[in-house]
Structure 1
Amino acid sequence: MTQYAILIYEDPAFYETMAPEGWGAVVDAHNTFTKRVSELGGSLTGGGRSRP
């Protein structure tokens, strides 16, 4: 089975100034993504991060 790496690049400063509502939106988007992967027959494994 083919496997893909999903790389997420972010600016940590973005989270330092984020309003609480913004954090909820980030979590909601992540949850929607993982749900859709499953609905489309895929699966997510791991979840580790690379070294800085």
Structure 2
Amino acid sequence: MSDLDIKNAVSAIEEVLAAQLPRVEGLGDMEKFVARKFAAQFARYKADIN
């Protein structure tokens, strides 16, 4: 994958996360934990590739 492919994939994932995170409030504790854990892992991954 080229850097552009990776950045495009990151942008697509960010859009999905941004659309889903407001809905986290309606979820149970376990779902909130998983959503936040994924968002944190993704942020670390994004920092590594930038």
TM-score (structure 2 length as normaliser)? 0.51
Percent identity reads: 5
- Matched with 1:15 is 25
Structure 1 portions without partners, runs of 5+: 43-52
Residues paired across the two proteins, number: 38
Q: Displacement of 1:15 after TM fit?
A: 3.3
Greater share of helix residues, 1 or 2?
Answer: 2
The TM-score with structure 1 as length reference comes to 0.49
Kindly report the root-mean-square deviation, in angstroms, between the aligned alpha carbons of the 2 structures: 2.9
Closer/same/farther in 2, CA of residues 13 and 29 from structure 1, 3 Å limit: closer
Greater RCO, 1 or 2 (C-alpha within 8 Å, sep 6+): 2
**Shift in Å, 1:10:** 3.1
Unaligned runs of 5+ in 2: 1-7
Q: Which runs of 4+ in 1 moved over 4 A?
A: 11-14
